[in-house]
Structure 1
Amino acid sequence: MTDKAPTTQPPLRLSTVILPHRRWHEGARETWVRAEELGFDTAYTYDHLSWRVPFRDGPWFGAIPTLTAAATATERLRLGTLVTSPNFRHPVTLAKELISLDDISGGRVTLGIGAGGTGFDATALAPSTQEPWSPRARADRFAEFVPLLDRLLTEDTVSYDGAFYSAGAAQNIPGCVQRPRLPFAVAATGPRGLKLAARHGQAWVTTGDPKLFETGTPEESIQAIRGQVDKLGAACAAIGRDVAELGKVLLTGFTPDRARPLESVEAFVDFAGRHRELGFTEIVVHWPIPETPFATDQKTFERIATEALARLG
């Protein structure tokens, strides 16, 4: 692989993450409707049982019911998780919920999926004395979770006995509205996860290099992400797949730039343009939440949603 950026820039989509921290009839519904009105391509939500401070001890609702409600409140907007993980999900039950959501939404669902982390919900189903899974243990489960979920969403009946998951003649008729199944956006930076993205993904997701978040520079972040893109290309080449077939999704807010790209339309256009040069096809921004790390001026945010892509050309 070369470290040169692609010579042609792909079309770029702008999407948002709406955290499930408000009651549906106390502002949440209006947010999802507004996301559609502003023209966002996709509105995602985080799939956790609870999340980090300052949300840890406050309201937090389930991802699938939230997306189901959003599906009935919108018509065009794509919907998705960013991301679902094996931390508390089982492929058999998850597949049934996703097929139902895909049906209710009329085929507007994308599954963002990752190996999970060590956050507050990592041990929610475990004995109180159990430590979170190690990175290797999470990767082991993820490597089994994704292919099994792929089968469950594409085959009428699946039986499987694995090291971590089983399926006993699990039926998923009639399957997804989207064929052969709803798309997977696989979050990965390590070699095993990138192989899963190459083989099973319709898109790949990154938040950048977490080691650079506190002390890195935007330039260092660009180089690190360029390296991730190159490794994704190598994983695709190893199985004879064209890396251009995969969408490339950047979830913002976790690079050294932090919230600066949302300070103005001009700042966002510069940020998005530099990442589009790396091959990214979708930029995801967090819906503003006052008095949190995602605090952003709402008017500026809406201007970015409605003006930025046109300025990028």
Structure 2
Amino acid sequence: MFSSHRLSTVVLPVRRWHEGGRDQWIRAQELGFHTAYTYDHLSWRSFRDGPWFGSVPTLTAAAAATDRLRLGTLVTSPNFRHPVTLAKDLITLDDVSGGRITLGIGAGGNGFDATVLGQQPWTPRERADRFGEFVPLLDRLLTEDAVSHEGEHYAADGARNIPGCVQRPRLPFAVAATGPRGLALAARYGQAWVTTGDPKLFETGTPEQSRQALRGQLERLGAACETIGRDVAGIGKILLTGFTPDRGRPLESLDAFVDFAGRHFALGFTEIVIHAPIPDSDFAADEKVFERIATEALAQLGH
């Protein structure tokens, strides 16, 4: 059961480490964020033609630069990852960080990562099939010393992962999902569940329609948990902001964010994630407002 609400951030890997990159992770810890995540992509949308660094080395460096802040991906997907090599990276990250890593994981989308290795884009069904094999195999790789698996999409032949994770039985999964198969995976394997809202509402929907859609997602997560006899209260519910019809408005002022966060915590979310500001981008925001949100919002909400 989650008794308190959390505020976390996303630090996109667009700055050189010694030209402000390192400082952002240290500042995230100083501001008191619960977790600082980064995207696990090879490039992303409007940032495609600019600097973009790899998530695993970035998180390794961030682990060395901080000592309290939780760190994670939001989210990793099968687009260019294989469970065997990913498991080795994650066990190493968990060790370097002293057990501060959360793996956000999702089925992935049709962005640049989906074709960069030369493959044809997968259909939604193929994505769900791969994700349905990827997550259980990764779970085994992070909890068993030796794993062999011959599946439809992935294989492992005596893969060794000694000594395993610092966090036991393994580091937590935050499973991003909205469809029935993904929600079933979140219910079975997730320590948390992640959503960005309903993408169909992003352009023309209203904030109220968005909250209604999120309410429906939370209900379906509850139903998926009930199916396997799990208490949904034991799963963290994470909202990654910036992709609902509200867009950047919650970061326009402390009051605007407190209103937004209060409404979404009331729906049942336990963690709200905001992007660290990036000038001249979709994530442009006032740095001072961002810092006030980090340091004052939860207190105003009574947490």
**TM-score normalised according to structure 2 size:** 0.98
Render the CA deviation track for 1:234-275: whole Å, top value 9, x for unaligned: 000000000001000000000000001111111111101111
Per the alignment, residue 57 of structure 1 pairs with: 49
Residue 275, structure 1, aligned to residue 268, structure 2 = no
Task: Quote the Cα distance in structure 1 between the aligned partners of 2:118 and 2:146.
Answer: 29
% of aligned pairs identical?
A: 78
Give yes or no for the alignment of 1:73 onto 2:65. yes
- For residue 39 of structure 1, what is the amino acid of its counterpart? G
Q: What is residue 30 of structure 1 aligned with on the other side? A: 23
Q: Which residue of 1 aligns with 2:32?
A: 39
8 Å Cα contact 1:9-1:276 kept in structure 2: no
Task: Name the SS for the 2:87 alignment partner.
Answer: helix
1:233 maps to amino acid = G
1:16 aligns with 2:9: yes
Within 2, Cα distance between the matches of 1:244 and 1:124? 39
Name the residue aligned to 1:5: none
Partner of 1:101: 93
Q: Distance in 2 between matches of 1:157 and 1:123?
A: 31
- 2: CA distance, partners of 1:102 / 1:126: 31
Whether the 8 Å CA contact 1:10–1:276 is kept in 2: the answer is no
CA distance in 2, matches of 1:267, 1:13: 17
**1:85 to 2:65 alignment:** no
**Which consecutive unaligned segments of at least 5 residues does structure 2 have?**
none
Distance 1:16 1:169 in 2: 37
Deviation at 1:9, TM superposition (A): 9.1
Work out which of the residue numbers 192, 201, 215 in structure 2 matches 1:212: 201
Secondary structure of 1:27 counterpart: helix
Letter in 1 for 2:151: G
The answer to whether the 8 A contact 2:2-2:233 is kept is no
* Equivalent position SS for 1:22: coil
Deviations 1:4-62 (A, max 9, x none): xxxx9952100000000111111100010000000000000000011101x01111110
Give unpaired runs (5+ residues) of structure 1.
1-7
Aligned-residue RMSD, C-alpha: 1.0
CA offsets, 1:98-131, max 9 Å, x none? 000000000000000000000011111125xx3x
- Map 1:1-313 onto structure 2 (within 5 A): 10-53=3-46, 55-127=47-119, 130=120, 132-313=121-302
1:161-190 CA deviation, whole Å, 9 max, x = no partner? Answer: 000000000000000000000000000000
TM-aligned CA deviation for residue 83 of structure 1? 0.1
2-side partners of 1:9 and 1:51: how far apart? Answer: 32
How many pairs align?
302
How many angstroms apart in 2 are the aligned matches of 1:171 and 1:10?
Answer: 37
CA distance in 2, matches of 1:216, 1:50: 28
- Which secondary structure state, in structure 2, belongs to the residue aligned with residue 277 of structure 1? helix
Q: Distance in 2 between matches of 1:240 and 1:40?
A: 32
TM-score where L is the length of structure 1 = 0.95
